[in-house]
Amino acid sequence: MNKTQIVKEGWDRREIFDFFSSVSDPFYMLTFKQDVTNLYAYTKKHGISFYYALVYLCTRAVNSVEAFSYAVEGEKIFRLDERIPSFTDLKKGSELFHIVTMEAGGSLLEFCRRAAETSAAQEVFIRHESEGDNLIYFSCAPWVVMTALTNERDLSAPQARDESIPHIAWGRYEETAGGRKQLCISIEVNHRFIDGIHIGRFHQALTEMIEAL
């Protein structure tokens, strides 16, 4: 994981960072509607997982917005070169899930095929050696039309407020007027680093990637 330390004294976000550092729970969640018509058609055409494909595109969209790249270690602030996805996945033929962490390199098709192979081969719930500050946590509840989602968090931990990992989730897509497909994407972030405008830019980047398929 490559990272660059930020000199806080000259950082343009210092005042906002310090303001939200003073509260016990600086996290907030926002949900927005996302048109996924092109993505659905693309995954059907190429025989790949819709879930893996959306994980890949969300990861690329997150990495296109600088605000998502910041992390805290003690008293130091760093800018990460890249975040990688860590996503839940059901075991085949089971109600139990595991957490798969892997880089989102290569093309969309390559990632989806590699994700399927990695998930199928994984025999443990989570690979702790893969855990770090450079992740994006993903989850999906395809059984329901999800409108919002909260996340578990140990707020009693000494450094709980320092977590900078975005939590992203969605549910089942719905048919809308004109045969379009859309779903709600829920994203939970740390307000010390990320504001609504940055989530808006993430949404815009994701939309452009889907429409370009």
Is it the case that residue 159 has pLDDT exceeding 90? no
Give pLDDT tens digits for 183-193.
999 999 999 99
Domain ranges of the chain: 3-211
Is the pTM higher than 0.85? The answer reads yes
Candidates 109, 90, 113; CA nearest to 100 is: 90
Residue 85: what pLDDT? 98
Mean pLDDT of 197-210: 98
Give pLDDT tens digits for 122-139.
999 999 888 889 999 999
- Measured distance between the N- and C-terminal CA atoms of the chain, rounded to whole angstroms: 29
Candidates 72, 77, 87, 81; CA nearest to 158 is: 72
How does residue 155 score in pLDDT terms, banded at 50, 70 and 90?
Answer: confident
26-60 burial string, b = 16+ CB within 10 Å, else e?
bbeeebeebbbbbbbebbeeeebbbbbbbbbbbbb
Residue 43: what pLDDT? 98
Residues in contact with 165: Cβ distance below 8 Å, sequence separation at least 6, in sequence order: 133, 135, 136, 137
Q: What CA–CA distance (Å, rounded) separates 57 from 32?
A: 16
Q: What CA–CA distance (Å, rounded) separates 32 from 130?
A: 29
Q: Does domain 3-211 have CATH number 3.20.20.60?
A: no
